Structure 1
Amino acid sequence: MKTLSLKTTKIANMFQQLHQNFGGQLHRESTEYELDLDNGLGQGLIKGFAFKGGVSFVEFDMTFSENFRVSWNTQHSSPFYFAYCSQGQIEHRFESEEERRTLQNFQTGILFCKPSEANILYFEKGRRLKASLIVINATGAQTDHGTNHLYHNLRKSFFSDRNSESFAYVGSYNLQIAEKIQQLRFISHQGIAKNLLVEGTVHMILGLEIQQQRDDLHNNRNTNGSLTGEEMERVKELSEFITHYAETDLPIKKLSRKSGLSPSKLQEGFKLMHGRTVTDHIREVRIQKSEQLIKNTDMNISEIVYSIGFTSRSYFSKIFKNKYNCSPKIYRKGNRMAAS
């Protein structure tokens, strides 16, 4: 088994070490790093972003050619790691442990390692892995006591004393995080706009991961409802199908047949992923598409209504106004005035 030892959580130094050990092509643009790999160790992409306040984000989309482990030892510091697995699985243990814990597809993990002890992550060969890590360092935007605000609040939240032991938590399935990570991949803006959008989305992911742990503790159990990991994957695939074909007729029975899931499991999955029912989600996707068409095309409102799958212009106008606080006509007028 190949082993890589990382001694830092600073993105620039981390990607230098990854490049030295993995090879590949390293690209940098401002605070964004991207390592493309296609060699004997594996194929894929590792991306990283550095933000203010001691926050960084690392994403793996890799298929390793042999079993691999990363030993992460930052020695004198104790960062928080918020992990999420979008595809495949990750195994983890602290250096002092024998047994490994597993983050499966769509599961969250919170890791805190006391100083001088290493986090060890295991990646399986021949299996595509999509996973992300949000790292919160003690250095960054400071409190009056010289500690990063966010880091300080996390310490207060997770520990009652200052001499914290290593801590690991593997949470429930969470499809909302998968959706946010998917949004990251489709951010096409450049420059400061891209930086702000990526940073905002990463903070939303962090908030969802923290809330997941709170919800599990509140329920006094680690629950994934009645859905298996495979069923959660089908819900995600169906959600992507709806995004691309929202204008078509999509009754629950048809979606149930397509996914192989019962209507009740579909509803449960969509509430987990989107916080709303299947019907409400279809309507939301259609309204979002209509907003883009109103802004970016010369189609009249009636043409837009029918092109996105609605049959009633008055109904469309009502739900559009509920979302954007104005009629479709006024929304278009306002956008054109702003652009002129």
Structure 2
Amino acid sequence: MAEKKELKELSLVDVVKDIAGRLKVDYETENNEICIDIPKESGTGTIMAMSFSHGVALMDLDVRLKEEVRFELNPSLVQPLEIIYNKESSFVHRFNGKEDAHEIRHLESAMISSNGKHSNMVILPAVEPICFFNIEINRKRFEEKIGDFLPDMDSDLEALFRDVNGVNLFFYKANYSLDIAKCIEEIKQCELSGFPRSVFIEGKCYEIVAHHLRQYVDDSSDPDNRKILRQATVKKLEEAAEIISSELDQVDNIIALAKRVGLNQNTLQSGFQHLYGMSVNNYIRNERMEMAKGLMERTDLNVTEITYKIGINSRSYFSKLFKERYAMTPTQYLKKLKPQKERSKTT
């Protein structure tokens, strides 16, 4: 078995320097940003970290490693609050000295606080693509920024942020929201440099923290009553949309569709409203009208054949829906297309 590399983490910026030293590679720094490329003998990818005021820092890790690697937070330091967002393959977190291991899966986030006795360890598997985004908050330095707002916060969050010396263990994971995913992507796509880049990314980090705290409260509510759309839910909604497009001639049962993609009916409906701006039924109707229009333009099928092709049993109902969408009946649209089709055949 290959020897495991133990990487003791000091802070999200210091850890990159530590990794660079252990891997014997140079790191690049510019202002408050540091970056390394993983050497070929260890794997592929990059690790970037930035530090900001009030004890906030971030790390963006996107690697594929040849051996298992462990990040351990130095227990002699003040224990910060870590918020991790996993964009790729699963990896494991555990508190040193504790038997329980926490698997952080694709599109899951984890909010973690260790203490001096049980430090954080993140175990990255070999071979798998690993991509996670980590925001770190030194709560002792952050107290000045958040102190006035703590009495109005959720009681669990208030206790978490008041634990400035990192005395209590805390671990909470959930699927992170679409808003958080968008912020992370905006950071990764940022092409600014210098001070504008630093200010932009720092602002996005605070936006992510705000979304995360709001989602933590939302997670405490009944799943059917949650108002924030999770990134994992978006994947299932997109899967439902693909099923609708490929099975238009038979898809009608929304309960069965929700079950196929692993959502309840209410989440499917509210998710479509959020993502596509319409109900599932309206989405199906729009897809059918788009398909019908395409069939008229590309084939020689008549109106009755097209009606059944798109999963509607009534020609008159189809005509009604088509006219509502395109301000003319299917027969009128076919008549309009006739000269164009005849020219195409002649050509």
Which category of TM-score, normalised to the shorter sequence, fits these structures? 0.5 to 0.7
Normalized against structure 2, the TM-score is what? 0.62
Structure 1 pair 60/136, CA: closer, same or farther in 2 (3 Å)? Answer: same
Aligned to 1:5: 7
Matched position secondary structure for 1:179: helix
Name the residue aligned to 1:134. 135
Give ranges in structure 1 of 5+ residues lacking alignment: 239-251, 281-310, 312-340
Correspondence 1:187 to 2:187: no
> Does the CA contact (< 8 Å) of 2:215 and 2:228 recur in 1?
no
Partner of 1:79: 80
| 1:110 Cα offset (Å) | 0.6
When structure 1 is superposed on structure 2, of 101-110 and 65-74 the one drifting more is: 65-74
- The separation in 2 between residues aligned to 1:135 and 1:275, in whole angstroms, is 34
Q: Distance in 1 between matches of 2:39 and 2:117?
A: 33
Name the structure 2 match of 1:321: none
Alignment of 1:248-259 (within 5 A): 256-257=245-246
Q: 1:44 to 1:89 in 2, by over 3 A?
A: same
Contact 2:56–2:137 (CA<8 Å) still a contact in 1?
A: yes
Partner of 1:278: 276
Give aligned-pair identity as a percent.
16
CA offsets 1:262-281 (integer angstroms, 9 cap, x no match): 88669957966x9823147x
Cα shift at 1:218: 2.9
The answer (yes or no) to whether the contact 2:115–2:167 under 8 Å persists in 1 is yes
- Cα deviation, 1:27-46, whole Å, max 9, x if unaligned, reads 11111111111322211010
Q: Indicate how the Cα distance of structure 1 residues 208 and 32 shifts in structure 2: closer, same or farther if over 3 A, else same.
A: same
Tell me the TM-score normalized by structure 1: 0.64
DSSP 3-state at the match of 2:10: coil
Equivalent in the alignment of 1:115: 116
CA distance in 2 between partners of 1:197 and 1:225 (Å): 24
Q: Mapping of 1:1-340 within 5 angstroms?
A: 1-9=3-11, 11=13, 13-140=14-141, 143=144, 149=146, 153=150, 157-159=158-160, 164-219=167-222, 232-233=234-235, 256-257=245-246, 276-279=274-277
Which of the two has greater helix per residue?
2
Once residues 59 and 229 of structure 2 are traced to their aligned partners in structure 1, the CA distance between those partners, rounded to angstroms, is 31
Structure-2 separation of matches of 1:68 and 1:33? 20
Q: Deviations over 1:269-315 (max 9, x none)?
A: 7966x9823147xxxxxxxxxxxxxxxxxxxxxxxxxxxxxx9xxxx
Whether the 8 Å CA contact 2:82–2:134 is kept in 1: the answer is yes
Over the aligned positions, Cα root-mean-square deviation in angstroms equals 4.1
Closer, same or farther in 2 for the Cα pair 1:71/1:33, shift >3 Å?
same
In structure 2, the gaps of 5 or more residues are 279-324, 326-347
